[in-house]
Structure 1
């Protein structure tokens, strides 16, 4: 029985409102700064209300770009980040699904040894193996390419483990019934396991998309051609102006644009994302 105590309701609402303010305030300041001229940002005061340079600032970063970021339009960098994030996300999910399916439903020598070898790679993040990975990519001639940006990051031990654990909860009778009905391994995987994995795929899609979108170190190493810069690299270059102060109003406009794709993905897939994290029965 839950007691109805008005002061607890008020307190809980105050805590939620405080959390919203703490979360939203930096985003609001970023947006406001992106609508003012640089003079208003550099005069020592922080504007709290939008200015009159919204269209001008956003047209500048989307059109001509910023010289400190190589003069590449933000639209190009957003496209590069989108290609990289989608390639990493789809690649990780596809490879992990197939690997987990093979480990759970196929009986082959050293099956569990293969699984543990995959699982052990969790202890080797990109930063640890980055030099040999870079050497392989360079020797294959994949520098300054979308393949070089994405391919070394598409293997995922975490996703493989999660799909394996889910496949283990699928009743064995389901596989036997499919086998009796004449369904082969591919049909069983495509028509039964994939639909059952929909919420898990959605949850992983959101997490992996944000992971790929926010990549910085790897694109910095494999990209020297400015036309392949990602949005995170562009923001970093804008803030590291060598001979002048950063154009903070344009940096903030670029930051706001960089937040849009992850936010859209989270909002669109919110219901499936939550189901994939909390649902115990499929």
Structure 2
């Protein structure tokens, strides 16, 4: 076999593997979207559908008019608003705290900076679910039950964001700090005028990751919120019916905000996480 034919065969095999991986990953989403356009009775008899139906308008209209709970206070609009508040709170808080933590570890003379950094990374081994009881007790003591703040604060994940920001700051040339000192810039001005303009891509990537983490929260909002007005979209799916056409429509709507966010920031997201020198 000639080298040209061998290279062509390798390219074909590589593309087939990539196409197979894409189909494997995207097939559940396509099935969910197609099923959201069928009636609940058809889904109950035949299961999930591969092709679109004729009930899309009826199912999505029913979702927008959905009301549940003892007092009909659980609506799609309120669930969407709660999910957005939690996701944005987690995203903004995680990004800001991670940046400040990494900034302090890299540019301040802290004797235990290395120890604090590794201690921060150790929190990756302790997800929120593993500390529900103590976290709930602290939240209750602070009178944050049934509040958005109570759902946001424990979900702030600092370790991953701090790691990314720290590696980025360590890649900056020392001339940045020396130029700032010659210009008479203090710590705050150095952060605002030098660090932030060079970190916005990395910050955008961390914002996207944190937004998806906050958006997909289920167990903690379920545990901390008993008020019907605090239901999120992810929590409300079971009220609509997970195997119904309306339920599939609600699931489809629930993936749109994080999906649109990823599409909007995909260039920053992939470039900033893949290349530490993308800012130069």
Query: Normalising to structure 2: TM-score of the pair?
Result: 0.90
Checking the alignment, whether the CA contact within 8 Å between 1:37 and 1:53 is kept in structure 2 is yes
Q: Distance in 1 between matches of 2:87 and 2:258?
A: 10
Counterparts of residues 65-214 of structure 1 (less than 5 Å): 65=67, 72-214=74-216
Partners of 1:155 and 1:32 in 2: how far apart?
35
Q: Kindly state the Cα deviation for residue 67 of structure 1 after the two structures are TM-superposed.
A: 6.2
Alpha-carbon distance change, 113 to 17 in structure 1, aligned in 2, over 3 angstroms: closer
In structure 2, the partner of 1:242 is none
Checking the alignment, whether the CA contact within 8 Å between 1:64 and 1:71 is kept in structure 2 is no
Q: How far apart are residue 46 of structure 1 and its match?
A: 4.2
The structure-2 alpha-carbon separation of the partners of 1:39 and 1:131, relative to structure 1 and needing over 3 Å to count, comes to same
- 1:75-129 deviations in whole A, cap 9, x for unaligned? 3212211110110011011011111111111124533343333233222221222
- Structure 2 distance, partners of 1:49, 1:108, is 60
Name 1:267's counterpart in structure 2. Answer: 263
Looking at structure 2, the residues matched to 126 and 180 of structure 1 have their Cα atoms a distance apart, in angstroms, of: 44
1:181, distance to aligned residue in structure 2 (A): 0.9
Deviation at 1:26, TM superposition (A): 1.8
How far residue 272 of structure 1 moved from its aligned partner, in angstroms, is 0.3
Quick check: 1:95–1:155 contact (8 Å CA) kept in 2? no
1:58 matched residue in structure 2? 60
Q: Deviation string for 1:164-203 (max 9, x for gaps)?
A: 2221221122101111011121111111111111221122
Could you say which residue in structure 2 is the equivalent of 1:217?
219
* TM-score normalized by the length of structure 1: 0.89
Divergent runs of 4+, >6 A: 1-4
Change (3 A) 1:184 1:224: same
Counterpart of 1:107 in 2: which secondary structure?
A: coil
* Displacement of 1:61: 1.1
Q: Is the 8 A contact 1:149 1:219 kept in 2?
A: yes
Q: How many residue pairs align between the two structures?
A: 275
Against the structure 1 CA distance between its residues 119 and 30, is the aligned structure 2 distance closer, same or farther, given a 3 Å change threshold? closer
2:203 is paired with a residue whose SS is helix
1:277 aligns with 2:273: yes
Alpha-carbon spacing, 1:15–1:65, altered in 2? closer, same or farther (3 Å) = farther
Residues 1:53 and 1:280: Cα distance change in structure 2 (over 3 Å): same
RMSD of aligned alpha carbons: 2.3
Pairwise mapping of residues 224-239 of structure 1 onto structure 2 (< 5 A)?
A: 224-239=226-241
Tell me, what secondary structure is at the counterpart of 1:135? helix
Question: Cα distance 1:183–1:234, how it changes in 2: closer, same or farther (>3 A)?
Answer: same
SS of the residue aligned with 2:42? helix
Distance 1:104 1:48, change over 3 A: closer
Counterpart CA distance in 2 for 1:9 and 1:116 is 43
Ranges in structure 1 where 5+ consecutive residues have no aligned partner: 240-245
What does residue 246 of structure 2 align with? Answer: 250
Shift of 1:23: 2.5
Kindly report which structure 2 residues correspond to 1:7-26, keeping only aligned pairs within 5 A, or say none: 7-26=9-28
Question: How far 1:2 moved relative to its partner?
Answer: 9.2
Distance in 2 (CA, whole Å) between partners of 1:80 and 1:124 is 26
Change (3 A) 1:236 1:45: closer
